[in-house]
Homo-oligomer: A and B are copies of this chain.
Amino acid sequence: METVVVFGLGLIGGSMALAIKNENRTVIGVDNKDGHAKKALELGIVNRLGNIHDVAKAAVVIIAIPVDFAPELTLKVLDLIKPKTLVFDVGSVKSAICKAVENHPKRTNFVAAHPIAGTEYSGPEAAFKQLFYNKKNIVCEPKASGKPFLEKALGIFEELQMTTSFMQAKAHDKHIAYVSHLSHISSFMLGKTVLEIEKDEKSIFTMAGSGFASTVRLSKSSPNTWTPIFIQNKTNILKSLEEYIKNLNQFKELLKQSAEEDLYKSMESTHHLKNILSEIK
């Protein structure tokens, strides 16, 4: 019987616990939100609740708490584990955590992972076993992980039916700012803009259709999760956000001038996305 300790029992950690739990594994859950912990136990997401000291008997420890607290917790966990314990995190920003553990004597026990999976919902109630099925997964700085630990982690990701690729943390954080973090900001601010005008124009949402719903879907995501992600990946996000605002301003100017042909071209230029999007799961 293998013991797995999962820190953070929200959408990601809870789904990870559900996906990993089987007759050969006991999953112990830790969540400093009392409500989350109780709910996760009640929903059968974990076998029992525990605390930081349970990591001493764990074969695997999973860090799925918000990224602002993950580096500190990971260091503490590395201090307490036995020599053969694998520790991996699942956060959306990778430089800070890789930097934090860099010189830890048990650095090789750690694998920095980012499963590209999620929904706009949060908390243990949102967790489901199939969240990671057929999804992409990024492992950062794989050479800094010891071979047996990396192999054990890759085995788990394969068991969850994710496809893993490898990247440096710096490249990960730059790219993910564009293809994930920026989408969330765009969606949060679109929701905000429409809610502001709705104060004066009561019936506005009676006209909203599926296009609006799709574009603002991510604005339902948890501010608890996303505030620290934005702050930790600030430099990359600011750059992507500036480019996005620049493009919106250019579009605005073209529209002001009713520059039909240029507006058309500006939209036409995204058509290459069609092929890319058809491959995204």
- The residues of A with any CB-CB pair to B shorter than 8 Å are 116-120, 135-136, 138, 165, 167, 171-172, 174-176, 178-180, 182-198, 201, 203-221, 223-224, 226-228, 230-231, 234, 237-238, 240-245, 247-249, 251-252, 255-256, 258, 260, 263-264, 266-274, 276-277, 279-281
User: Which chain B residues lie closer than 8 Å to A268 at the CB level?
Assistant: 223
In the complex, the answer to whether A179 meets B248 with C-beta atoms within 8 Å is no
User: Which chain B residues lie closer than 8 Å to A196 at the CB level?
Assistant: 243, 247
19 A-B residue pairings within 8 Å (CB atoms)? A116-B208, A165-B206, A171-B201, A178-B201, A180-B207, A187-B215, A189-B247, A191-B270, A193-B247, A195-B273, A208-B276, A208-B280, A212-B280, A223-B267, A227-B264, A238-B252, A245-B248, A245-B252, A248-B248
CA A116 – CA B208 in complex, angstroms? 7
| Chain B residue nearest in CB terms to A281 | B210
CA A218 – CA B170 in complex, angstroms? 30
User: Which chain B residues lie closer than 8 Å to A273 at the CB level?
Assistant: 191, 194-195, 216, 219-220
In the complex, the answer to whether B179 meets A207 with C-beta atoms within 8 Å is yes
In the complex, the answer to whether B180 meets A209 with C-beta atoms within 8 Å is yes
Does more than half of chain A's interface fall in helix, strand or loop, or is it mixed?
helix
User: Which chain B residues lie closer than 8 Å to A249 at the CB level?
Assistant: 245
What 10 A-B pairs are tightest by C-beta distance, nearest first?
A: A191-B270, A223-B267, A116-B209, A183-B215, A179-B208, A189-B247, A213-B280, A219-B270, A193-B244, A227-B264
Within the complex, the shortest CB–CB distance from A218 to chain B, in Å, comes to: 5
User: Which chain B residues lie closer than 8 Å to A226 at the CB level?
Assistant: 267
In the complex, the answer to whether B186 meets A201 with C-beta atoms within 8 Å is no
14 other A-B residue contacts (CB within 8 Å) besides A186-B186, A220-B270, A231-B255: A118-B210, A165-B206, A180-B212, A183-B190, A189-B244, A189-B251, A191-B270, A194-B273, A205-B280, A219-B273, A230-B263, A234-B256, A241-B248, A241-B255
Q: Identify which of B116, B217, B276 contacts A277 (C-beta below 8 A).
A: B217
User: Which chain B residues lie closer than 8 Å to A260 at the CB level?
Assistant: 227-228, 231
User: Which chain B residues lie closer than 8 Å to A258 at the CB level?
Assistant: 231, 234
Within the complex, the shortest CB–CB distance from A100 to chain B, in Å, comes to: 18
Within the complex, the shortest CB–CB distance from A62 to chain B, in Å, comes to: 19
In the complex, the answer to whether B241 meets A192 with C-beta atoms within 8 Å is no
User: Which chain B residues lie closer than 8 Å to A280 at the CB level?
Assistant: 205, 208-210, 212-213
